[in-house]
Structure 1
Amino acid sequence: MLILRVLLGFLSFYVVYQNYFGVEFTVKGLNYFNLMFFGVLAIVIAKGIRSEEPAPLKGAFTFLFIMLGWGYVIGLMDDGSTWLEDLVELKTSVFYLLLYHLYYRAVQDSKTLKVVLAAVLITAFLAQLQAVRQGLDYGIGAYNETRRAAGPFGKSFLRANSAAAFYVIFVPVAAAFMLELKRGWKIKAALLFSVGIGIFGLFVTYSRQGYLILGAILLYLTFRKNLGLALLLCLALMSYRVWAPDAMIQRIEMTQQQEDPGRPTPTPKPGAALDDGEGQKYDESTESRFLIWAGAMEMISEHPLGVGLNHFKRNIGIYVPRYRGFDAHNNYIRMAAEASIFGALAMLVIIAKLFMLGWRIERVDKSDSSRAMGLALQVAALGVLLSNVYGSRFFDGDVTGNVWVLAALGARYFALRRKQAQPAQAEQPAVGAVHAMPVRA
């Protein structure tokens, strides 16, 4: 079991840091992650490890797999020349989701669960710390588009938003454990330090949507914990101009600026703000999303069955020529365009099911660990939900791979807790019974 625990922990680390292990294989689509996944699965099968009960959320995962397959079939019918590239996209999307099933089967006891959970949290901390180091190296005096921290998610500032999406998921996860666990002050101190590092790491990504999402999720957490603490957080968020660094304020105010009516409107240039026709200006990043989403709506109306998995970028130029080859920057819109509206629905269902699993775990018993694990899954689900409104990262393994690992750990925790509660329930006599009979196993 020691070897299996080490492999499970390392795989959760590798998923996030896989960009540092780029090796090309002869077989297209094959990579280290696939080999490690099958290696862990082989050990699990060889040791005869299996679950007595089916994994929760199985139906939601199956629904999403079916819609991904549907998108691939539609793509073949539309343009079969890209079948191999689209097949690799299908494989990549499915494989990271399968981490849920792999870890649910491999983790069968509380000790393994704790080891893997520690690996997930430590990996998140290292990823946040790396962004902090990059931000300090770049300097935080003034905002510079090309000097945004991306952590382990890439060497280019273009991956800064992916790093931010990861942080808005896992900073609240650490905060949930920090707020709810009542035992072990050293663990709570380490979690508090991780939350602080994560917030600073998010700051130096300069992701505006990241700031908003993290604030919203932390408000949810604090409202659940303490109303006074939540009100203090509200006050701090509303007065960000007082305490936030100038670079952060500058980045936030780039989204929308008031047009000077006494000055002629210049011709937009790459990176400049664009006029929306009502006296307001939006930076190009914000404006481009509105234009792409409008084009996507036309695409969906003309192709209600979908245009095919991985075909959005090939088709968006028909509707918005200026953004030919661009991503949707919204995974729900992208799935609706590629695999029909049911594709987007499948994503929403699995996120909702993940949130509800956290809700059930929180109430499985009265322990602080159950409340911590339940809230951790809830905020992770909220992070995934909100981070995909302004970006397409649901199927990015380095961003969400450990979410499915965490979901598997939560599902296994729930099964273990229910199993522990059964003997106690079986020993209790029925109400009004004189002689209680033992319950058969």
Structure 2
Amino acid sequence: MLGLGLSEIVPYVVYGLAGPVIIASAVNRSAIGLLFLVPLIPLYVILDKVLKSELPLANNVIDFTIIAMLLGICIQKRDDEVPALGPSPLLKPLAIFAGYSFISLLIGSASFDGLTGEINLLRLAHWKNYMIMPLLYLITYYALRERAWQNKLFTFLFGAFLVADIRFQQSFKWVKHTRYQGSKSRVSGLANLGPNEMGAFHAIHMLFVLGLFIIDKNVKRRIAYVFFMIGSTYCALYSYSRGAYVAILLTAIFIAFVKERRLLIVIVAFLITWKAILPSSVVDRIENTIVEDGARTDVVEVGGMQLETAKRTEIWEKALGYFYENPITGKGYNTYQYLTGWDTHNVYIKFMAEEGVIGLSLYIWLYVLALRSGWKLYKNGDEEIIKAFGFGFVCAVIASIVSNFFGDRWTYLQLGGIYWVLWALVDQHNARIAASVTDVVAVPAAPEMDHFPNSRIAS
């Protein structure tokens, strides 16, 4: 790690910190758990080593931290905390979303003899891990309200992304990447996930920071934004993920039309000259070719596996077939992969096949709510940095919407955890601003004073 030989040591350090953090999160501040867990998401490789180690209870570190933070929210009472802002606006939508996904899990378990008890346990574990992200939203909304603690979280996150970028660069420098050579040219920075997922991860967060950069004019913060964007763009570029490239392009077009029209000139110039500007290996990837031993071969690569175009079509046709059989509820949560051996490589089709119209509608509903939250903060923010935060989140939501057309960028903690934390802070600031406006309106106006209180008008 960072060339210092720390790869084997850091997981033990993280494991050693977990115990004190869990205790402190329960009895002192729940926010401590967030400062511990969230910055490990860009460094999920480290966290994954902890979870897979044979140390006592190591595989439950995330679960215990989440439980401790929830317990802390329930029992802690601090005089120095900001006033309560009322319940989260996502309480009911999240309850509906989680409730239906659990019902869908049961539907899948009850419908197929081919889904054995072991598979159903794996599906239950997947659902539990999936629900960690909405829980992170709720914990962040209720536990991370002081600005100082929010600043600490973003400082730690910036450092974590910097380390992740350096780690990726150190791994990638050993790969021959003058021309694109398929899987030989690709590395991933996220545990258990491939280069496409890693590209989407960096694209979404780079575009969030780009939104901050456009609105926030603070010089020191802008310098930090630039460093962040350079690192994340490098990782997204050399992930060779075409889905990440499309997400960046479409979100940049959105920014150009909504906020920065001059960006259109840059986009048009790029679209004309991209073959001359981008590295040859990236051009090969976009043009869908592999160059090996001087030979160029047309390929289609999906989810890290080289497939013919017909195979992708077959995957989608199979998924849509399941949808047509059960259009309302689908086949059941997390069933498609176990029934076919494939992933749908498109989350919208995945929701259709597994959770039907109901599940797809709930998924799109969450995106609508997220866009509305970010846009509301951008328009109503009481500080420039707060407006920037809202606009940046809108950019992240759009990037997520686009990315999920190319694969599952939604159900994994290492991909979506930070997204839910950002959303919680957006909703929190919206609630704070609404509360402050209400307080101003509620203060009664001072009675109008008689300019001459002692005077009398003679009859």
| TM-score of the superposed pair, with normalisation by structure 1 | 0.82
The answer for unaligned runs of 5 or more in structure 1 is 257-270, 275-282, 317-324, 436-441
Corresponding residue number in structure 2 for 1:250: 284
Corresponding residue number in structure 1 for 2:338: 314
Give the Å deviation of 1:389: 0.8
1:418 aligns with 2:434: yes
Corresponding residue number in structure 1 for 2:390: 374
For the residue of structure 1 that corresponds to 2:174, the secondary structure is helix
1:142 aligns with 2:170: no
Q: 1:428 to 1:346 in 2, by over 3 A?
A: same
Give the Å deviation of 1:189: 0.8
**Which of residues 147, 151, 161 in structure 2 aligns to 1:114?**
151
Q: Distance in 1 between matches of 2:30 and 2:103?
A: 35
Corresponding residue number in structure 2 for 1:265: none
Instruction: Output one character per residue of 1:65-107: Cα deviation in whole Å (capped at 9) or x when no partner.
Output: 1221121111121136333222112211112221101111111
Q: Distance in 2 between matches of 1:215 and 1:147?
A: 26
Corresponding residue number in structure 1 for 2:190: 153
Paired amino acid for 2:205? F
**Which of residues 178, 194, 200 in structure 1 aligns to 2:228?**
194
Give the Å deviation of 1:162: 0.9
Corresponding residue number in structure 2 for 1:8: 34
Q: Distance in 1 between matches of 2:415 and 2:377?
A: 24
CA contact 2:201–2:415 (8 Å) conserved in 1: yes
Instruction: Output one character per residue of 1:14-43: Cα deviation in whole Å (capped at 9) or x when no partner.
Output: 233333233347999953211111222233
Q: Distance in 2 between matches of 1:78 and 1:226?
A: 51
Q: Distance in 1 between matches of 2:131 and 2:249?
A: 31
Q: Distance in 2 between matches of 1:104 and 1:73?
A: 30
**416-425 vs 58-67, greater mean Cα deviation:** 416-425
Q: Distance in 2 between matches of 1:359 and 1:58?
A: 20
Corresponding residue number in structure 1 for 2:424: 408
Q: Distance in 2 between matches of 1:286 and 1:375?
A: 37
Q: Distance in 1 between matches of 2:68 and 2:159?
A: 23
Q: 1:58 to 1:147 in 2, by over 3 A?
A: farther
Q: Distance in 1 between matches of 2:167 and 2:398?
A: 24
**236-245 vs 80-89, greater mean Cα deviation:** 80-89
Q: 1:161 to 1:141 in 2, by over 3 A?
A: same
Give the Å deviation of 1:246: 0.6
Q: Distance in 1 between matches of 2:423 and 2:309?
A: 32
For the residue of structure 2 that corresponds to 1:344, the secondary structure is helix
For the residue of structure 1 that corresponds to 2:334, the secondary structure is coil
**Which of residues 101, 105, 109 in structure 2 aligns to 1:72?**
105
Give the Å deviation of 1:292: 0.6
Paired amino acid for 1:225? K
For the residue of structure 2 that corresponds to 1:138, the secondary structure is coil
Give the Å deviation of 1:46: 3.1
Paired amino acid for 2:104? G
CA contact 2:30–2:69 (8 Å) conserved in 1: yes
Q: Between Structure 1 and Structure 2, whose CA radius of gyration is higher?
A: 2
Corresponding residue number in structure 2 for 1:321: none
CA contact 1:125–1:194 (8 Å) conserved in 2: yes
**Which of residues 206, 216, 235 in structure 1 aligns to 2:269?**
235
CA contact 2:187–2:239 (8 Å) conserved in 1: yes
Q: 1:27 to 1:57 in 2, by over 3 A?
A: farther
Give the Å deviation of 1:125: 4.0
CA contact 1:364–1:418 (8 Å) conserved in 2: no
CA contact 1:131–1:204 (8 Å) conserved in 2: no
Structure with higher RCO (Cα < 8 A, 6+ apart): 1
Corresponding residue number in structure 2 for 1:103: 140
CA contact 2:275–2:283 (8 Å) conserved in 1: yes
Corresponding residue number in structure 1 for 2:359: 343
Paired amino acid for 1:160? P
Q: Distance in 1 between matches of 2:169 and 2:111?
A: 45
Give the Å deviation of 1:355: 0.8
Give the Å deviation of 1:221: 2.2
Q: 1:347 to 1:297 in 2, by over 3 A?
A: same
Q: Distance in 2 between matches of 1:297 and 1:28?
A: 41
CA contact 2:347–2:408 (8 Å) conserved in 1: yes
Percent of aligned positions that are identical: 20
CA contact 2:330–2:353 (8 Å) conserved in 1: yes
| TM-score of the superposed pair, with normalisation by structure 2 | 0.79
Q: Distance in 2 between matches of 1:138 and 1:200?
A: 15
Q: Distance in 1 between matches of 2:262 and 2:171?
A: 35
**Which of residues 167, 170, 177 in structure 1 aligns to 2:205?**
170
CA contact 2:198–2:239 (8 Å) conserved in 1: yes
Q: 1:162 to 1:28 in 2, by over 3 A?
A: farther
Paired amino acid for 2:191? G
1:290 aligns with 2:313: yes
**19-28 vs 342-351, greater mean Cα deviation:** 19-28
Q: Distance in 2 between matches of 1:230 and 1:428?
A: 49
CA contact 1:110–1:413 (8 Å) conserved in 2: no
| RMSD over equivalenced CA pairs, Å | 2.9
Q: Distance in 1 between matches of 2:150 and 2:438?
A: 20
